[in-house]
Structure 1
Amino acid sequence: MSCSSPAYAKKKPLKVKTLTIPRFTTVASLANILNVRYEKLLVRLEEMGFEDLTYNFILDQETAGLIADEYGYEAHFVEEKEGEDLKPMDIPEDTSSWKTRPPIVTIMGHVDHGKTTILDHLRKSSIVDQEHGGITQHIGAFSVKTPISKKQITFLDTPGHAAFLKMRQRGAEMTDIVILVVAADDSVMPQTKEAIKHIKQSAVPVIVAVNKCDKESANPERVIADLANNDIDVEDYGGETQTVRVSGLTGLNMDKLEESIITLSEVLDIRAPDKKVPVEGWIIESQSKKGMGPLATVLVRQGTLKKGDVLVAGKTYCKVRSMKDEHGKPVKQALPSTPVEVWGWKEVPEAGDECLQAKDESQAKRVIETRILREERSKQVEDIDVINKLRVDAKKEMEQRDRLDELRKYGLEEEDINSGEEASDDKPVQQNVNYIVRADVSGSVEAIVESIKDIGNDEVKLTILKQGAGAPTDSDLERAQISNAEILCFNMKVPKDIENKAAKMGVVLKNHNVIYHLIEDVTAELSSKLAPTIELKVRAEAEVKEIFEIKGKRRTVFKIAGCKVTSGTIEKKSKVRVMRNDQEVYRGKFETMKHLKDNVLEVKKGKDCGLSFEDWSDFKPGDVVQAYEENEIPRYL
């Protein structure tokens, strides 16, 4: 038999069918692409586990590709090129050639445990006197030379109030060493536990400063025990965490605390490259100053920042025009672990943004374009989820209307159809309270928004229309007037012309300097919108003994309840309800009140009386008549 016989011919491989699928496509469009009837595709999708699909339901590439695979197609996706971006440098295994840098030390702990007082003593300044309410209001980085060891340390002072959760989280991620401050007279508190959680999550070495040891009520041993119970392996109990008993007020053992920081930093061997590498760092705080525009405090992580360098942070960039240290003095360069205020930003960057150096402004612009596009794509996905939900809801509403139309064909009235749905309509309508948030720096804005955004419940909701660093603007006033919003200002001086315009426009503008006062104010405002709880208080009772029928004019018959007052004094003007077997059968007002044959305004305990009620006469012997008053009890969130 010839080899060329068809029985021995090579089989041609089956050609795989391919499809090009766009980034997003509707179910109907996918049916066209697959060349399948829409109805059949819908049945197949339901078999695959999809529910509540409509013809215009939007599918993403991955989902559409999965469906195409079911039909034997190999999906090719429309490629979207990723633009240029900046990334931090990979850290090599051997860093011995890098220079040692000052440690970045974060102060953490509960509000009013004395963190700022300790920092104040370390840097010999009076920051504590400048803070409103004695509480640090936003992150500040300060580089100081310690008086004893003459070593440089950068302190990152994080706020102590619960409102600044995110800022404290960020502080723990930027730092080399954490000083956990715990008051000797107060021990471990909620924010202490919160700080411990962040320390554990970021695996940062910690030194415990047991503060206020100069006070008579101090009990440092209890603090050590409580810390051990909260997973801090203190030296006192054989662990590795140093504990130092100090007083920020008197300076007790502050030299030992300083020595502990320097010793631990030497053990950690903290290093960073300062030459021939791009600058990397963090935005510590940012704001917009009148006459200067956007400013940001940058904490350099590696490299040497100089005038003329181009930095990218988030979706904005900066060509460094000038730099100042924490004392406001101009500096020519900033080495690793140095905080500097940088001028030259195109827009105000967000506190906590990573800061990376670009080659030039052109590269910076390309990077920002990439980041904006990436964010838009991400938002597009979120928007599509919302659109799909609206379309599914619209489909259900249409099906409900069709069902009602069908029922009407059988003679049912609308109230009969809707009778089963009335219960759901009794829910209170949710009220909305609008705010615009303005603060001195972006870190404070973020903390305020995080603190207040979830205040509310099913009855009252808070909406933040706009937020930003810097004083309120004319557009803020117009937006607040249109939307009936209040403007919350924090830790800033509001320009007089803005205050005057706000007053003329009827816009409420509130200024706060202490974060928890602002939170209390917002909570009180939303609480005032809650319907009060009505408390019913019974003032007097009477028991119905017998029923009397009295004939009136034109042969009308009136029923009178013959009663005996068993407690209190029943007044004719009182609100009244009638109870039968502990169930309310009537609520309303008295129509007549008689004692013997006289009309009276009140009847005291032990007296008999005849009572009738407005629009009701179905009383029976044994019923209990209660005169009551209603008290409104305010509700709070």
Structure 2
Amino acid sequence: MQAPSIGGVTVPRGDGKTTIRVRRGSSLTDFADKINANPASLVTVLFHLGEMATATQSLDEDTFKVLGVELGYDIQVVSPEEEEKELFDSFNIDLETGIEGEEDEDLEARPPVVTVMGHVDHGKTRLLDAIRNEDVAGGESGGITQHIGAYQVRKEHEGVERAITFIDTPGHEAFTAMRARGAKVTDIAILVVAADDGVMPQTIEALNHAQAADVPIVVAVNKIDVEGANPSKVRQQLTEYNLVAEEYGGDTMFVDVSARQGQNIDSLLEAVLLTADAALDLRANPDREARGVAIEANLDRGRGATATVLVQTGTLHVGDSIVAGSAYGRVRAMLDEHGENVTEAGPSRPVQVLGLSSVPRAGDTFVVAPDDRTARQTAERREAADRQAVLAKSRKRISLEDLNEALAAGRVETLNLILKGDVSGSVEALEDALLKIDVGDDVDLRIIDRGVGAITMNNINLAMASSAIIVGYNVRAEGQNADYAEREGVEIRYYSVIYQAIDEVEAALKGMLKPEFEEVELGTAEIREIFRSSKFGNIAGSIVRSGEIRRGTKARITRNGVVVSENVEVAGLRRFKDDVTDVREGFECGINLGSYNDLQLGDLIATYEMREKPRA
């Protein structure tokens, strides 16, 4: 079926119900292939709809929607999650449950995956230290956890040794994205609340993430050894958020602990296992190809790209070909949380994987591919799609109506940033926080590149070409790279705590805004007498009614409440026979308004100045 001629071209037309799926970041050529049309004709159609784009340019979702309505197609832009699902389907793996379609006899019990969440400085990391007897907090900037880590501990329960996997999510508010991701891969959430502090904003935020992920919650009331601790108050506060303690007739287990003293840690682990047994059916098939989630990833100088992965189903072996996001490779080695080599990792087991081609994003799902070639092709296809999606996202839609205005560049200032960090979770969280900074429509923030590892020559060259600032988060430019950046005048800002980076970028954005001025009234004077002077013109004999009258300031003249003149300058000011710079309220003076002589008795002279408004 042909569409009516638009601008002299015809294209195949849908019936309004035909669904066309295109991946995010697709171009008109990609869409034309799906409907068997000439890409040039689609360019013309789009032009007549008020949009300008080339046949190979990535389009955003809104543009595809406009085109779909015109041509009678329901165009669905495939999200990364759907791309993920299609990838798993191609490997015959069920993404939704991981166990659906499995025979019951194939499923075996697996350890629970526990996420520790809560407000900053309520003792999450110290609690994990107490559980695994390993000091993590000492290595964190400002005592704030800025990475995601996964660890497995063992606990004897009802005569059987059971494993529990812990995920430590950062506590600072800027890491909302990472905390949310932690809740999505978890079975049980431990909500840490300080007994002396009570429920805080991030406690509620963490609670919302856990409840949105529909996971059971165990509450650890920490710092019970601190003066002013009130565990019962915490129980009372949390009842407002549908967490009712068992002793109050609810079904949430509360455990009073002291991470510093190591008090009741066993009881907490017991509560986790009891909750897992009572509320969850934690089973997976270990005898299949592995799939899971990349919890964290970074670029190690000696080992190359490494990723901490959590196996969700199947068993991952050394030598397997895997795809994780746009990274691929053969598993060269696997390390457990103690740095020991392991040859295989079953369900709920966190391991560090070596051998990937590049650094995956934290939160990317990994899957074992049939062979190296399939893994590479899949990763390359997804990398190209990701790149196009970023281009489409950064493209601003320009219609013919506002094209001339858009070409009048200079009204919109742009701050270009390149983000580099030590681990991908931090880079993602920093990007997420920076893009939420709102300083109005006059200034635009663009993140033109992001990555993991030290600041390279390529980053510096890109910054030179795009006038960008490089933000280094726990990474630096070293040696000749640092010299090159300094020589070329590329600004590199280094940070180790995320909120410092956010504050400084926000300040920079506000500094790029054109200054806003407001009028501030300085004083008013009423004309009581008018003196004629051949040398100076008319002199207004006045009394200052409010504030002060200052020589050199701007003034407006009002007569019976009506403004008769604006922007008049107070050229001279006299008290008796003396020239003065200012006259305060209640005093009389002579005011010379330069060449302005249209004065009458009773006129009011109001002086003012324009001051720059501080930005909120």
| TM-score in same-fold range (> 0.5) | yes
1:345 matched to which residue of 2?
A: 356
Contact map agreement 2:572 2:592 (CA 8 A) in 1: yes
Q: CA deviation at 1:108?
A: 0.8
Post-superposition Cα deviations, 1:424-453, rounded to whole Å, max 9, x if no partner, equal 999993322221111011111111000001
Q: CA RMSD in A?
A: 3.7
Post-superposition Cα deviations, 1:282-331, rounded to whole Å, max 9, x if no partner, equal 11111222243221111111222121101111223111111112222222
Residue 614 (str. 1) matches residue 594 (str. 2): yes
Per the alignment, do residues 519 and 602 of structure 1 end up closer, same or farther by CA in structure 2, a change over 3 Å counting? closer
Contact map agreement 1:350 1:442 (CA 8 A) in 2: yes
2:26 matched to which residue of 1?
A: none
Name the aligned partner's letter for residue 352 of structure 2.
Answer: E
* In 1: Cα distance, 2:149 partner to 2:383 partner: 29
Contact map agreement 1:440 1:491 (CA 8 A) in 2: yes
* In 2: Cα distance, 1:270 partner to 1:256 partner: 21
2:114 matched to which residue of 1?
A: 105
Contact map agreement 1:86 1:367 (CA 8 A) in 2: no
Residue 137 (str. 1) matches residue 128 (str. 2): no
Post-superposition Cα deviations, 1:586-624, rounded to whole Å, max 9, x if no partner, equal 334322333445545454555433222134333332233
Q: CA deviation at 1:206?
A: 1.1
Residue 183 (str. 1) matches residue 166 (str. 2): no
1:273 matched to which residue of 2?
A: 285
1:432 matched to which residue of 2?
A: 414
Contact map agreement 1:26 1:55 (CA 8 A) in 2: no
Per the alignment, do residues 377 and 159 of structure 1 end up closer, same or farther by CA in structure 2, a change over 3 Å counting? closer
Contact map agreement 1:26 1:56 (CA 8 A) in 2: no
Name the aligned partner's letter for residue 460 of structure 1.
Answer: V
1:45-194 superposed matches below 5 A: 53=49, 63=69, 66=72, 85-86=90-91, 88-89=93-94, 91-92=99-100, 95=104, 97-146=106-155, 150-194=161-205
* In 2: Cα distance, 1:32 partner to 1:540 partner: 71
Contact map agreement 2:552 2:571 (CA 8 A) in 1: no
* In 2: Cα distance, 1:525 partner to 1:243 partner: 45
Per the alignment, do residues 29 and 280 of structure 1 end up closer, same or farther by CA in structure 2, a change over 3 Å counting? farther
Per the alignment, do residues 590 and 194 of structure 1 end up closer, same or farther by CA in structure 2, a change over 3 Å counting? same
1:76-475 superposed matches below 5 A: 85-86=90-91, 88-89=93-94, 91-92=99-100, 95=104, 97-146=106-155, 150-267=161-278, 268-275=280-287, 277-368=288-379, 371=382, 390=398, 393-394=399-400, 396=401, 429-455=411-437, 456-475=439-458
1:5 matched to which residue of 2?
A: none
1:558 matched to which residue of 2?
A: 537
Which is higher, the Rg of structure 1 or of structure 2? Answer: 1
* In 1: Cα distance, 2:219 partner to 2:109 partner: 24
Per the alignment, do residues 598 and 162 of structure 1 end up closer, same or farther by CA in structure 2, a change over 3 Å counting? closer
* In 2: Cα distance, 1:187 partner to 1:158 partner: 20
* In 1: Cα distance, 2:161 partner to 2:338 partner: 19
Per the alignment, do residues 189 and 558 of structure 1 end up closer, same or farther by CA in structure 2, a change over 3 Å counting? same
Post-superposition Cα deviations, 1:388-444, rounded to whole Å, max 9, x if no partner, equal x53xx22x369xx9xxxxxxxxxxxxxxxxxxx9xx999993322221111011111
Per the alignment, do residues 202 and 535 of structure 1 end up closer, same or farther by CA in structure 2, a change over 3 Å counting? same
| Structure 1 gap segments, 5+ residues each | 1-17, 35-49, 68-81, 402-420
Contact map agreement 2:99 2:284 (CA 8 A) in 1: no
Residue 500 (str. 1) matches residue 483 (str. 2): yes
Per the alignment, do residues 230 and 87 of structure 1 end up closer, same or farther by CA in structure 2, a change over 3 Å counting? farther
Contact map agreement 2:550 2:570 (CA 8 A) in 1: no
Per the alignment, do residues 96 and 161 of structure 1 end up closer, same or farther by CA in structure 2, a change over 3 Å counting? farther
1:74 matched to which residue of 2?
A: none
Post-superposition Cα deviations, 1:341-370, rounded to whole Å, max 9, x if no partner, equal 111112221111111111111222343355
Q: CA deviation at 1:371?
A: 3.9
Post-superposition Cα deviations, 1:470-501, rounded to whole Å, max 9, x if no partner, equal 11111211222333322111123542433333
Contact map agreement 1:320 1:343 (CA 8 A) in 2: yes
Per the alignment, do residues 492 and 377 of structure 1 end up closer, same or farther by CA in structure 2, a change over 3 Å counting? closer
Per the alignment, do residues 614 and 295 of structure 1 end up closer, same or farther by CA in structure 2, a change over 3 Å counting? farther
1:524 matched to which residue of 2?
A: 507
Single out whichever of 145-154 and 237-246 deviates more from structure 2: 145-154
Post-superposition Cα deviations, 1:531-562, rounded to whole Å, max 9, x if no partner, equal 5554655554421113333345xxxx922212
Task: Find the residue that maps to 2:233 and give its secondary structure.
Answer: helix
Contact map agreement 1:27 1:55 (CA 8 A) in 2: no
Task: Find the residue that maps to 1:528 and give its secondary structure.
Answer: helix
Per the alignment, do residues 27 and 372 of structure 1 end up closer, same or farther by CA in structure 2, a change over 3 Å counting? farther
Single out whichever of 502-511 and 123-132 deviates more from structure 2: 502-511
Contact map agreement 1:28 1:55 (CA 8 A) in 2: no
Q: CA deviation at 1:251?
A: 1.9
Per the alignment, do residues 580 and 190 of structure 1 end up closer, same or farther by CA in structure 2, a change over 3 Å counting? farther
Contact map agreement 1:282 1:300 (CA 8 A) in 2: yes
Name the aligned partner's letter for residue 106 of structure 1.
Answer: T
Task: Find the residue that maps to 1:352 and give its secondary structure.
Answer: coil
* In 2: Cα distance, 1:615 partner to 1:459 partner: 40
* In 1: Cα distance, 2:51 partner to 2:296 partner: 49
* In 2: Cα distance, 1:188 partner to 1:546 partner: 69
Q: CA deviation at 1:138?
A: 1.2
Task: Find the residue that maps to 1:278 and give its secondary structure.
Answer: coil
* In 2: Cα distance, 1:598 partner to 1:431 partner: 50
Per the alignment, do residues 304 and 529 of structure 1 end up closer, same or farther by CA in structure 2, a change over 3 Å counting? same
Contact map agreement 1:30 1:64 (CA 8 A) in 2: no
Name the aligned partner's letter for residue 85 of structure 1.
Answer: S
Name the aligned partner's letter for residue 145 of structure 1.
Answer: R
Task: Find the residue that maps to 2:464 and give its secondary structure.
Answer: helix
Task: Find the residue that maps to 2:342 and give its secondary structure.
Answer: coil
Q: CA deviation at 1:155?
A: 0.6
Q: Percent identity?
A: 38
Name the aligned partner's letter for residue 355 of structure 2.
Answer: G
* In 2: Cα distance, 1:208 partner to 1:133 partner: 25
| Structure 2 gap segments, 5+ residues each | 14-45, 54-62, 74-85
Single out whichever of 206-215 and 526-535 deviates more from structure 2: 526-535
* In 2: Cα distance, 1:270 partner to 1:328 partner: 27
Q: CA deviation at 1:164?
A: 1.4
TM-score, normalised with respect to structure 2: 0.80
Name the aligned partner's letter for residue 449 of structure 1.
Answer: E
* In 1: Cα distance, 2:561 partner to 2:91 partner: 74
1:485 matched to which residue of 2?
A: 468
1:408 matched to which residue of 2?
A: none
Contact map agreement 1:209 1:243 (CA 8 A) in 2: yes
Residue 512 (str. 1) matches residue 495 (str. 2): yes
Contact map agreement 1:428 1:459 (CA 8 A) in 2: no
* In 2: Cα distance, 1:376 partner to 1:461 partner: 21
